[in-house]
Amino acid sequence: MERDIKILAIESSCDETSAAVVVNGRNVLSNIISSQIDIHTKFGGVVPEVASRKHIEVVSLVAQQAIEKAGITFDDIDAVGVTYGPGLVGALLVGLQYAKGLAYALNKPLVGVNHIEGHISANFIQYKDLKPPFVCMVVSGGHTYLVYMKDYGKFEVMGQTRDDAAGEAYDKVARAIGLGYPGGPKIDKLAKEGNPDAIKFPRANFHDESSLDFSFSGLKSAVLNYLNQKKMKNEDINRADVAASFQKAVVSFLVDNAMKACKLKNVDKIAVAGGVAANSCLRETLKNAGCEKNIEILFPEIILCTDNGAMIGSAAYFEYMKGTRSPLSLNAIPNLKLGER
């Protein structure tokens, strides 16, 4: 039997400082997450400079806790995995510098991980037998991708957003209707009290009908226009109806394209990843569509959907097994693309 590979992974690309110990890419021994949400809520969104400073304050403590909770010592790990992009450059640099220092001091390999690849890998933790090929939909605050995962570490981007990410649209619309940050969970909750068919918000039309791309900025503008018109006419705004109608527009776009992607690649599995994968309407609508078309729909549990170190530990393992070793000169790449190194 092959020896277990233990990876200590560090994630600091946005507003969560996280460290995790993951065995063989699938078994999580610890997943410590220190969230900055309360701090950024005051500003209505993530303030990059504040995020970097908070990461500095907690990163070594979070890593230490991950090791302790896993019941191991730093010497027991086989490699240090770390997110090096995409994300906020200052925030990424904090985790990266810490990971590099640790790898050097312990004389262990460093494995740089793409944050999006991490989100996708959360599914390998949730579903122990999951193997490629499958279609993955990554929907987060910064990214919206439809990806065909041919093999471990091999991705083909089939569609992506041409402007705002799905989570970004949620956050912007939430702010417009006075719900605050982060908007996704708040719209999700309020929409349950509203009528999704109350307002018809448009879907972006592309010239190329076969495109699996997304666009959400027109939808966001349509919501803002609707709110402005109502205000100008001094009419009441039913915020729950706005939330539910907006959500229906986002979710139907995501679900339609995801189903088309499966058909195109002739696969019978869609794995969803990223913060918006926590959305209850997306979960239900996609599951229903999957039932109809005999497609299995996979969602990681909520804690694995939003940013966390365990997903980075899983992706780092598969990279490690492919032979990926990053130099100590590895730099943060804020706009790192999926499949690029």
Q: Give the closest residue to 68 by CA, choosing from 41, 26, 31.
A: 31
Q: Judged by CB under 5 A, which of 164, 188, 307, 319 binds Zn ion?
A: 307
Residues 256-275 that bind ligand KG4 (CB under 6 A): 274-275
Question: Quick one: 270 or 311, whose CB is closer to Zn ion?
Answer: 311
Instruction: Say if residue 241 carries a ligand binding annotation.
Output: no
- Asked if residue 171 binds Zn ion (CB under 5 A), the reply is no
- Asked if residue 279 binds ligand KG4 (CB under 6 A), the reply is yes
Q: Judged by CB under 6 A, which of 99, 307, 311, 319 binds ligand KG4?
A: 307
Q: How far is CA 249 from CA 96, 188, 197, 323, 337, in A?
A: 38, 13, 10, 42, 27
The answer to whether 148 and 120 have CB atoms below 8 angstroms apart is no
Burial class for 200, CB neighbours closer than 10 Å (0-12, 13-18, 19+): exposed
Compute the chain's Rg from CA coordinates: 20
Identify which range of 27-35, 77-85, 296-304, 305-313 contacts Zn ion by CB under 5 A. 305-313
Name the minimum Å distance from CB 275 to ligand KG4: 2
The answer to whether 87 and 117 have CB atoms below 8 angstroms apart is no
Q: How far is CA 259 from CA 46, 80, 131, 272, 286, in A?
A: 33, 36, 19, 12, 9
Q: Give the closest residue to 140 by CA, choosing from 111, 169, 163.
A: 169
Instruction: Say if residue 188 carries a ligand binding annotation.
Output: yes
Going by the DSSP 8-state scheme, the letter that residue 301 receives in this structure is: -
Name the minimum Å distance from CB 214 to ligand KG4: 14
Name the minimum Å distance from CB 15 to Zn ion: 10
313 CB-side CA count, 13 A: 31
Site size for Zn ion, by CB under 5 A?
2
Longest dimension (CA), the chain: 72
- Asked if residue 117 binds Zn ion (CB under 5 A), the reply is no
144 binds, among Zn ion, ligand KG4, none (CB under 5 to 8 A by kind): none
Question: Quick one: 103 or 167, whose CB is closer to ligand KG4?
Answer: 167
Q: Which residues are annotated as a binding site for Fe cation?
A: 115, 119, 307
* Residues near ligand KG4, by CB under 6 A: 14, 140-142, 167, 170-171, 182-185, 188, 274-276, 278-279, 306-307
Binding site listing: 115, 119, 138-142, 171, 184, 188, 279, 307
Q: Which residues are annotated as a binding site for substrate?
A: 138-142, 171, 184, 188, 279
